[in-house]
Structure 1
């Protein structure tokens, strides 16, 4: 299985990676420099001298859509089409040739388990303080591991979860574990508590980009992250057994921290400059205890700058919503398109288009969105007709302005689930919702006048040719 180092070399060959040999500090310098490079659409960065640690730091690997697609091995649209076709094949009665193709696809769903791997080349010679873990923003409460693939197993049924949750470094033996209440890792911890046990945890840092992308993605129930990574890579993920934990993890990760979380222990975590553009406040979160650190020879530390708008967060989130739109449309086939704009921090505002055919449909679709997976954290849902491009802010605002009456078309839900990172909600983890029905209204929806026709135009061949002639392509 290809590893992070293979990806770095590929980026270097196409001149999309900048090797930086000057000494940088892990305390703000690396992150602020990276943030400015991200704003300018710059390359991936490999800092070879951070704090004199001897451990290079990779930054901005997913900083542009083009680079993300290159690292994943195909364009986002192709991945989306692939999964759409994959779903259709599973749900339909495939022909013999389709069945053979589906069998080949399904083979990569099952990872291969090895007795050992490169990640176990070295152990016991590094402490957390030896790794150049970054302090990202001036108001952060300390250093944070920002791209950890945190692996846990359900204590009751043995199903695996891999997610990316920030980890604040407290000392060489403990970190915070930012498991929000609705996250699977937190649910595993609650089950361990019920059984009177601690929860084994393995933290992989510096993994194949497809594994990292899968761990970030909000996968449908029942689809394992390592299986999804296998589909993305079109090959089985190589895993290795833990030494002090009953877990499997990527065999060629740069680092793996083995340890546990005690469900009865918590500690103040934060502040942290987050993707909302604000510092999340100090709150109590579970504590991760490190039992052993494994790493490859000459390891590379992979991190990111979490922040608003131009950050890697935005590139990854935009790709995720494109890839998973087929899954969303499978759950609700009335949806034509769906968009989570960057300004809405990708989970506060959802714009959805429908092919409207009956009264009340917009509200019905909006309610289904607010009941679907991670979309349940959405605060504002705007529903438009299918003649509106949900990604064109001008068209959306035009529809809201010309197709709504506030007294009729705005629905306020008084109290529902809220994202833990939403500092504006009424309560922590609970707040209101708003639905805006910006569709053309039917008589049964209280509009009894003729709805005016939208102005349209047909350029015609003569006008088109004249525009081209005079340089107006």
Structure 2
């Protein structure tokens, strides 16, 4: 495990494998930055590092786009793998298993370090000096309602009694030089904590850390149980505590290596218009509406501060890689904890976290002695019991002869193994994301909608030894023929 403790260390590692494109040419923060990032997603190009931003020359401020996206290099998952401490060549299933292993370990709490040596304290704005517009936050999409400074940072808040600190990623738009407009859905953990402050009649203290170490957005996007502190899980993942320092104006601890920390309070009753914004389902489907007001009381930042930027939209971008990878890991952990023979779980990124595939061991029928219908019911009972089900409206269950990280194999299995009539199992009124474009207004507001599981299992349809076998290269020819073909591939003229 290699723990990259800052965004700058992360960029250095990506540069070693050619996965960063430094752009010294002047680029306008007004839409041009966002268009370049989107183009990088579409081409799986190296992550763009913008050093020359219109109107901000001489400040040293920079923007880093597509920090958790896919790469076109020989290491397509490099940004995810390196962020989570693995080699750039790690596979999707290796990444998921690393997260599952950490879930079984006790959390390691953060370590408080001296503020004097913390990079995030190199510059401090308070009072009238606070100016969010001093930083080159981009207007990302042409139809966005404003400049979104929070697309890949960490919102840090704790309950009034201090028993639970939550780290999450929720979008925030600049509303003024010292105000932000925030999306804080009630069912999300940030919303749960805010409700506790509201019950006391007090504004919620909050810190927004931008440009954090690369593992934090992943654990912040993982559907850990209510009451779990994501920073403790990060400690378990890396075997050492996250380094934190006290904030300047609120009673919170913030990442020492963050590029920027914005401190303040979520107002009890003041709102400000926020949106629209392109979102992870891939559409500009959200409308401008009143949202919670974040009143800024301090900004601390590093010299030459870097902002990490996500241009949300159609797959594949960070909403899909982060939510997909970490939610799959949490679901796999829970299925195994429930005693089910789960081999792996994976959100195919191309489906914009609307489609989860779960694989079970091929011997599940002999091991459990139940039908596939009963197995589907048990899987549903685990997945639909809480937060992990939010982004799983459509689930495929297959046996582990399918590489579920390979979309072409998943599509083939779905098309050939799920019965058109008997292969669908519907589960109404389950916890749901609010942004899916097919939802009714009521479903979106109540966070409740139907789910479906597609049964793509074969083991209970055939006796052991007579089940259909994939006619693949690996299965269809003797080992000696496979080896001969591979050894002579170049000689054949390919």
The alignment's TM-score, normalised by the length of structure 2, stands at 0.82
Correspondences of 1:267-282 after superposition (within 5 Å) = 267-282=272-287
Match of 1:379 in 2: 393
Q: 2:386 matched to 1:368?
A: no
2:436 to 407, 418, 422: 422
CA RMSD of aligned residues (A): 3.1
The answer to whether the 8 Å contact 1:31/1:136 transfers is yes
Distance in structure 2 (CA, Å) of the matches to 1:451 and 1:459 = 18
Q: Deviations over 1:64-113 (max 9, x none)?
A: 322343344323566554555555676xxxxxxxxxxxxxxx6x534224
1:174 to 175, 179, 193: 179
Residue of structure 2 equivalent to 1:94: none
Distance 1:10 1:405 in 2: 47
2:194 is aligned to 189
How big is the shift at 1:305? 1.6
Counterpart of 2:232 in structure 1 is: 227
Matching residue within 310, 322, 345 for 2:352: 345
Give unmatched runs, 5+ long, in structure 2: 72-76
Q: Between 351-360 and 170-179, report the one with greater CA deviation.
A: 351-360
Residue 295 of structure 1 deviates from its aligned partner by 1.5
- 1:83–1:326 Cα contact (<8 Å) kept: no
Moved more, 243-252 or 207-216: 207-216
Q: The residue matched to 1:463 in structure 2 has which SS?
A: helix
| Equivalent position of 2:457 in the other structure | 439
1:160 pairs with 2:165: yes
Structure 1 residue matching 2:25: 3-state secondary structure: strand
Tell whether the 8 Å contact from 1:403 to 1:441 is kept in structure 2 after alignment: no
The yes-or-no answer on 1:464 pairing with 2:482 is yes
The 1:50/1:326 distance shift into structure 2, 3 A limit, reads: same
- For residues 291 and 162 of structure 1, the distance between their equivalents in structure 2, rounded to whole angstroms, comes to 20
Q: Which moved more, 1:162-171 or 1:374-383?
A: 374-383
**1:248 lines up with 2:262 in the alignment:** no
Residues 13-412 of structure 1 mapped to structure 2, 5 A cutoff: 13-53=16-56, 54=59, 55-63=61-69, 64=71, 65-75=77-87, 76=90, 80-85=96-101, 108-116=108-116, 117-124=118-125, 125-145=129-149, 146-282=151-287, 283-321=289-327, 323-324=329-330, 326-334=332-340, 335-346=342-353, 348-354=354-360, 355-356=364-365, 357-359=369-371, 360-412=374-426
Note the C-alpha offset of 1:393. Answer: 4.2
Q: 1:351 to 1:112 in 2, by over 3 A?
A: same
> In 2, distance between residues paired with 1:301 and 1:88?
33
> Are the aligned partners of 1:39 and 1:311 in contact in 2 as well (CA < 8 Å)?
no
Distance of aligned partners of 1:17 and 1:269 in 2 relative to their CA distance in 1, 3 Å threshold: same
Q: After TM superposition, give the deviation of residue 50 of structure 1 in Å.
A: 1.3
Report deviation, 1:17. Answer: 2.6
| Cα distance, 1:313 vs structure 2 | 3.4
Per-residue CA distance 1:260-291 (angstroms, 9 max, x = gap) = 01233333321101121101322433221111
Cα distance in 2, alignment partners of residues 81 and 339 from structure 1:
11
Unaligned runs of 5+ residues in structure 1 are 91-105
CA offsets, 1:239-258, max 9 Å, x none? 11122211111122111111
Structure 1 CA distance, aligned partners of 2:9 and 2:411?
45
Other structure's SS at 1:186 match: helix
Deviation larger for 125-134 or 366-375: 366-375
Between the aligned partners of 2:122 and 2:295, the Cα distance in structure 1 is 22
Taking structure 1 as reference, are residues 226 and 28 closer, same or farther at Cα in structure 2, changes over 3 Å only? same
Q: 1:377 to 1:22 in 2, by over 3 A?
A: closer
Distance 2:332 2:424 in 1: 28
Any idea what SS the aligned residue of 2:206 has?
strand
The whole-number CA distance in structure 2 between the counterparts of 1:15 and 1:343 is 24
Shift in CA distance, 85/263, structure 1 to aligned 2, threshold 3 Å:
same
Question: Structure 1: how far apart are the matches of 2:385 and 2:284?
Answer: 28
Tell me, yes or no, if the aligned pair for 2:394 and 2:453 is still in contact at 8 Å.
Answer: yes
Stretch of structure 1 that moved more, 212-221 or 48-57: 212-221
